[in-house]
Structure 1
């Protein structure tokens, strides 16, 4: 943000405000170039750093084509362009000053937002981002989903990898060491939750053991289910409640069954989606809606 603020300060050399005049007198020569040497100022290094960036993203309206108060265009071969240039030459050049435009903006006005959009590093869109960053789930749940996919949770396997010695045991089944793969894919408790959720949609859970397979399969199934929003919620809510139950057993010594935990997931979905606008196309879809406890705004049953 500070770098983009420096770009703003660099740009105001074209403005006529009192602050702009101060900056021009402090940092610029008479010809508009930066002063050489060292200037005692906390923002001077930042202005020098972004000077070339701002210069490369600005342009004057017509100053490059005016010489000695007359139009001066380069030679062109296209007859269409020649005709346009002849029409431009007929325009009288007034004594008005030229206007400097900021190229990244559609209106030519510099903003810190536009400078940030040009200078920031853009990463490729992740294939699972829309499953995690959903408007239908709470922000804290979306953050958990990101940490889960990125393997940033404090499972025993990750803690030992960081050099913390400890004895590891899965708190949900007590039959294996705790790792991300076991806790969310292989543990009997987790497999039961995935199965219960998929059964509500009439989908068979294929017992995945990795994120890549799960993401590809989940996105593919989302194209065929009628209640896509509810289906995508399950991608994050099931790991959330697995983790909550794990922490409850480890730190509070409070245990609940898989079916009771799944009832909590359904209550969470019901509290967020009390009315759903999806079109029920079969009796199974009506049963699915009833299992999750939301009513349909459209209940058209497709004929066989």
Structure 2
């Protein structure tokens, strides 16, 4: 499930896809239902509590003929593991099974078999008398240690009832806990610029992930056929050759980089190039134009490759370069930047962009 949204990152406004795994979204909905069963004061909660929940807060064993039983069973322990109680009168919190004394329950702190605690449903309120802790004499060193730790806790007389932190539960918080998050990547801003079309951003993502169906990728799946680069007509086609190594492609990268006063050199992969491109943008105030070029150059290369292979239509690289500059010129009203260097001053002059537009208009072939 993917929904396009505008995200504001610092001062940079970007269009990025909000992608959710439907399986995790479904599990988040079941987390919401489990929370309602355990803590909501309603007839629905009473019904499900009687059917699925034991008095100690655990889930009943066995199989229940219910459409929601399987989903509830999967997330019950997840919801329980994220509970944390703040003690008020102690009448809602189980002394041994709920997490109110630290990050785990007393039953989990103990080295004893958990089955010994199964039938213990004593509430914390049983040890509170007239606003003070009252404990019976015990011989167990573990229970004595627990009583000593509990006795140091202040009793929150301001609360009429115990409060569970899950009472501020939301589907977003459960989804964040269930999903497997990945570290942020450095090329995010290169491909999700608000000035780019969604198809161009998706193309950039596929390029960096190596998901474009170039000849080398197809051969890796066991489909053998003769391969030739549609640009130089000499070497075999591979994703690195097509977008980085081909002498015709290097002309595009070098020509575009020279506009910003940079020198393009050889790079082994698009991912390595993205790091250099991002570093180069740090010394420029007109980042949007440079970032857009990183996607537009391979995007127009891909269009030329497909046009020549499937439609037998050929264009020289001067035309392609002019098409890239023309596209960049049309994007310029939505781009932002500040003049931070001499190169910024040169690139930001209106007459430069106007000259580019005049040069492009004479020989641009619109195929986007």
TM-score range, shorter chain: 0.7 to 0.9
Task: Select 2:164's aligned residue among 100, 104, 109.
Answer: 100
Q: Deviations over 1:152-199 (max 9, x none)?
A: 111111111111121111111101111111111121221111012111
CA distance 1:215–1:275, change in 2 (3 Å): closer
Relative to 1, partners in 2 of residues 1:148 and 1:191: Cα closer, same or farther, differing over 3 Å?
A: same
Give the Cα separation in 2 of the matches to 1:242 and 1:202: 22
Aligned to 1:239: 298
Q: Deviations over 1:204-241 (max 9, x none)?
A: 11132323431232122111123111111111111111
> What's the secondary structure of 2:218's corresponding residue?
helix
Q: When the two structures are superposed, what TM-score results if normalisation uses the length of structure 2?
A: 0.69
Q: Indicate the larger mover: 114-123 or 54-63.
A: 54-63
Contact 1:4 1:116 in 2 (8 A): yes
- Please, which runs of 5 or more residues in structure 1 have no aligned partner? 103-107, 295-304
Which of 20, 24, 27 is the equivalent residue of 2:52? 27
Q: Which residue of 1 aligns with 2:198?
A: 139
Q: Distance in 1 between matches of 2:36 and 2:279?
A: 51
Q: Give the one of 111, 123, 128 matched to 2:187.
A: 128
Q: What is the CA RMSD across the aligned residues, in angstroms?
A: 2.7
**Structure 2 unaligned spans of 5+:** 1-24, 94-123, 135-146, 356-368
Partner of 2:176: 117
Q: What TM-score, normalized to structure 1? A: 0.82
Deviation at 1:250, TM superposition (A): 0.9
C-alpha distance in structure 1 between counterparts of 2:251 and 2:292, whole Å: 17
2:106 aligned with 1:54, yes or no? no
- Residue 133 to residue 283, structure 1, CA distance change in 2 (3 Å): closer
What is the correspondence of 1:211-290 to structure 2 with a 5 Å cutoff? 211-274=270-333, 276-281=335-340, 284-289=343-348, 290=350
Greater CA drift, 282-291 or 241-250:
282-291
State yes or no: 1:164 paired with 2:164.
no
Distance across 1 between alignment mates of 2:341 and 2:85? 63
In 2, Cα distance between equivalents of 1:17 and 1:222: 57
Kindly indicate whether the alpha-carbon contact (under 8 Å) linking 2:285 and 2:341 is maintained by their aligned counterparts in 1: no
Say which SS state the counterpart of residue 273 (structure 1) adopts: helix
Contact 2:30–2:72 (8 Å) recurs in 1: yes
1:193–1:262 Cα contact (<8 Å) kept: yes
- Which sits farther off after the overlay, 244-253 or 44-53? 44-53
C-alpha distance in structure 1 between counterparts of 2:228 and 2:158, whole Å: 85
Q: How far apart, CA to CA, are the structure 1 residues paired with 2:190 and 2:74?
A: 39
Q: 2:133 aligns with which of 47, 67, 72?
A: 72
Closer, same or farther: CA 38–197 of 1 in aligned 2, 3 Å: same
Aligned residues: 280
Name whichever of 136-145 and 154-163 sits farther off. 136-145
The alpha-carbon deviation at position 201 of structure 1 amounts to 0.7
Kept in 2, the 8 Å contact 1:181–1:209? The answer is yes
CA distance in 2, matches of 1:273, 1:256: 25
CA drift of 1:269 comes to 1.9
Partner of 2:29: 5
Say if 2:61 is the partner of 1:36.
yes
